[in-house]
Amino acid sequence: MREPFIIDAHIHTGTSWMYYSPEPDWESIIELMDKLAIKYAICSETVFDVARRKIEKTVENFERSDRRIFYLGVYDPADGDKCLETVAPLVGERVFLGLKLHPSLHKTAPEDEAYDRAWRFVADNNLTLLTHSWSVSDYNPVQAFSTPERFEGYVKKYPSVRFVLAHAGGRGTGREQAIRMANEYENVYLDFAGDIFCFEYIETMLKAVPAEKLIFGSDYPMLDPRANLSRVFLSNINSEDKQKILVDNAKKAYKLE
Amino acid sequence: MEIKTIEEVSSEKKRLAASLDILDASMWLGQPEGFPNASAMSFPVLKEATNRHFITGGLVSHWSGKTASAQDGNRFLTEEFDSGKNNFYPIWTGLPLFPEEPGPLPGLSDMPSKVKAVRVFPKTNKFMMSGFVLGSLCKFLIGRSMPLMVWHTELEWKELYDLAGDFPDLNIIVETQIRKILYHMRNLMPLMRERKNVLLEISNFAGGGFLDYAVGQFGAERFIFGSFMPVADPFVPVGMLLDASCGENQKKMIAGDNLKRIIDGVKS
């Protein structure tokens, strides 16, 4: 057994209509975290009604897990006020790190003014904003809602917000835009959670962005942390950069110090 | 609890990966289709990449077998493997044996003895994966003890269920590319439970807890290592295996022993 030290910056809990999951519960993720030396995980929600129902449990489980699984509330622009009301009592609590956007799932363009309240909320409270990002996809058209450059207006308007493009723009053309934004804006980070299983991806990305911008995440329980974790450990990059990707960058982006 | 540096953990993982003796069922030559960030690899470049990823050999396909025609892909592979390549073997692309089509095709022309598996693309090539269409090819493969391979995106689950039932002596390897297999677990798991001759290639079998669950349900002998290189990262399935809950012998079966048994059993 190794002393846990890694941060998995992108997980979920619970069941989904989309996919089968044999181990979606908190106990299973804690067990897996211990096995893989993952010290902290950052859990986000995407469906507001589910998030609202689970929020008390989330705080309780944070304490039960020895304060290891942190929380990002969901911001659904269709129900923005309620989303912010729900998470407002958590501001200042250690468990609460910020908000998650999912324009593809919520079918609302990232430029829409309905998102302004979320950006302002995160800016005013010195929190972090995570968003789903992807590439234009011929078989999944709603991904066009989440291409990285579409968030750029708000990135410029709220430069102090630590903003994480989840999935780093995906496997296609969104990657190029994600790279550009990470290079152009100080507070834009890229997590490679999910099945961005491109060949020699870690090495390729580190040639395109500073090592300080890339964050390890799994997308558990949809994807298994063992996949992306071993890609970092087995990649041909130096140990200092592995430390940044697995630990340091998430600490900075999510203000976990 | 033991404290290790990142360098120590990396070294340990590399040592364990090297000890798995990995044979890869999914290596590809030619220009990948639909993956804008992936580049074609020549065989020497692919071979060099296998060395970096602890892969010792396996089965090689050609994208032209899908993007141009079965015959074109098979021609490319025949030329490429003309000079022999130890521990690397081509996969030919197959079509139904009737109506007969010209050119190098399994069951319709001489097939080099190095060929160790046949893959079909039913959706791309517009045929059903049903006994009355594909049965004669299935019988040919059974006669050679040769497996039939198919991407999950190219099949209909009910057709595969019926075909695997009609030909229980045929090993059918379902491949987890080219999109998420995780959305299809509610079909795949019952299929594997009902059809013991269905095996699973694991390059994209990366859903949370999937490998542990499925190996527990069906046994390690039903799983075959694949990388889908150069589109995908071989370290994904390597990582899934390294930290899997099963024993070391089971990991070695999945990593290479199962595929070796299949390759060694093919009759030329």
Predicted model pTM:
0.95
B37 chain-A contacts, CB cut-off 8 A: 171-172, 175, 198, 204
User: What Cα–Cα distance (Å) separates residue A79 from each residue in A13, A47, A51, B187?
Assistant: 22, 11, 12, 35
Which of A198, A224, A231 has its CB closest to that of B210? A224
Has residue B30 been placed in a domain? no
As for how many domains chain B has, the answer is 1
B251: part of which helix (H) or strand (E)?
Answer: helix B248-252
Residue window 220-239, chain B: list those with CB within 8 Å of chain A: 229-236, 238-239
Provide the pLDDT for residue A57.
79
Reported ipTM:
0.93
Pairwise CA distance, residues A182 & A214, whole Å: 9
Pairwise CA distance, residues B225 & B238, whole Å: 8
Has residue B195 been placed in a domain? yes
A231 chain-B contacts, CB cut-off 8 A: 233, 235-236, 239
Provide the pLDDT for residue B157.
98
Using 70 as the pLDDT threshold, list the residues of chain A that sit under it.
1-2, 48
| Interface touch A231/B233, C-beta < 8 Å | yes
| Interface touch A2/B182, C-beta < 8 Å | no
Provide the pLDDT for residue A49.
73
Half-sphere exposure at residue A186, Cβ-oriented, CA atoms within 13 angstroms:
4
**Which domain covers residue B229, as residue numbers?**
113-265
Has residue B78 been placed in a domain? no
Has residue B85 been placed in a domain? no
Tokens of residue A199, six digits: 């060949």
Q: Is B154 exposed, middle or buried (0-12, 13-18, 19+ CB in 10 A)?
A: buried
Q: Residue A255: what are its φ and ψ, rounded to 5°?
A: 55, 55
Residue window 15-34, chain A: list those with CB within 8 Å of chain B: 18-24, 28, 32
What are the strands of the beta sheet with A38-44, ordered from one edge? Answer: A6-11, A38-44, A69-74, A96-101, A128-132, A162-166, A188-191, A214-215
Has residue B260 been placed in a domain? yes
Has residue B92 been placed in a domain? no
Q: Are strands A128-132 and A38-44 parallel, antiparallel or unpaired?
A: unpaired
Tokens of residue B20, six digits: 């798995």
| Interface touch B182/A19, C-beta < 8 Å | yes
Provide the pLDDT for residue A54.
75
Provide the pLDDT for residue B114.
95
| Interface touch A239/B5, C-beta < 8 Å | yes
N-term to C-term CA, chain A: 25
Provide the pLDDT for residue A166.
97
Across the 268 residues of chain B, what is the mean pLDDT of every consecutive 10-residue run?
82 96 98 93 96 97 98 97 88 98 96 96 98 98 98 98 98 96 97 98 97 98 98 98 97 98 95
DSSP output for A45-69:
---HHHHHHHHHHHHHHHHHTTS-E
Has residue B118 been placed in a domain? yes
Pairwise CA distance, residues B199 & B221, whole Å: 8
Provide the pLDDT for residue A122.
98
Provide the pLDDT for residue B128.
98
A20 chain-B contacts, CB cut-off 8 A: 182, 185-186, 189, 207
Show the beta-strand stretches assigned E in chain B.
22-29, 55-62, 88-93, 117-119, 148-151, 172-175, 198-201, 223-224
DSSP classification of residue B13: H
Provide the pLDDT for residue B3.
65
DSSP classification of residue B2: B
The enclosing domain of B255 has a CATH number of 3.20.20.140
Tokens of residue A13, six digits: 């809990």
Q: Are strands A6-11 and A38-44 parallel, antiparallel or unpaired?
A: parallel
Q: Residue B171: what are its φ and ψ, rounded to 5°?
A: -75, 120
Between the CA atoms of A185, A186, A187 and A189, what dihedral angle is there, to the nearest 10 degrees? Answer: 80
The dihedral sign for the CA sequence B16, B226, A132, A56: negative
* Coarse DSSP helix, strand, coil percentages of chain A, rounded to the nearest 5 percent: 50, 15, 35
Has residue B25 been placed in a domain? no
